[in-house]
Amino acid sequence: KGQYAMNYDLGYSFYRDKQIDIALEDGGSAIQRLRIQDDAQHSFTNTFDVSYGLKDNISLTMSLPLVYKIDTAGGKDAVGLGDVSFGLRWQPIPLKRGLPTTTFYSSLSTATGDSPYEINSASDLATGKGYYSLSAGVSVSKVTDPIVLFGSAGLTVGNNMGGLNQRQGSRILTSFSPGQTLSTSFGFAYSLNYDVSISASYQQSISTNARYTFSDAGETTSFSSATQLSSVLNYTLSLRTSPTRVVNVSVGFGLSEDTP
């Protein structure tokens, strides 16, 4: 209770994809437009996390991300504020020897970053996801010295976005409804000595179908995207540089097409 903690994270990710943009003539099968859009995005994220102990077992958190993106294929870049989030962590059962530690968490992610559904996609890049989302879940850890086992599961839901007016080719995007995301993770940490430890973890998230509504020449059409699977294998080296400071160096490998 009454204690503050701060965490700074500098992250880099790279994502590359190719998409086919094709248009057929009305009522026929003749191709009017065929082009391949190459997407190669480098993302640098500076994130400041602050937590405050409201009680001995309840913590309030805030996350402030600053984002820099470069699209080397399209010659675009963006610098700006990402999506600020606020959270709460609650540990209902005090830590006891031999028992796992259970923590419930919830967080609200705002839409302070540039929305991908409101920018000019031909010349700009988004720094946020474009909608508010609410997450809740539980994490569990178990210490069997010198190893710590951990895992978590959570669900994220987002709000529908209406009143949009973004041109995508010959159509206008008018509304967007994000799907739900179920995320899980598990792994272990191993202490080599008092100052050095290593850890490995697996993270997976499944996002259900998002729904898009377009206006095309006065006609309204809707379609749902395919379910997306994102999975990452992470390795981390942790170095304790002082009694109050730990430096983590992490690398993650994407295991699916939807993962950086």
Predicted confidence at residue 25, as pLDDT, reads 66
Query: 197 by DSSP, 3-state: which?
Result: strand
From 203, 211, 212, 214, select the one nearest 258 (Cα to Cα). 203
Low-confidence ranges of the chain (pLDDT < 70): 17-39
Predicted confidence at residue 32, as pLDDT, reads 61
Predicted confidence at residue 258, as pLDDT, reads 78
Predicted confidence at residue 23, as pLDDT, reads 64
Alpha carbon separation from 162 to 69, 90, 131, 179 (Å, rounded): 26, 34, 10, 15
Compute the distance between CA of residue 153 and CA of residue 125 in angstroms, rounded to an integer.
31
On the CB side of 108, CA atoms within 13 Å amount to 5
**Cβ-proximal residues to 79 (8 Å cutoff; 6+ apart), any chain:** 67, 68, 69, 127
Predicted confidence at residue 35, as pLDDT, reads 58
CB–CB of 36/22 below 8 Å?
no
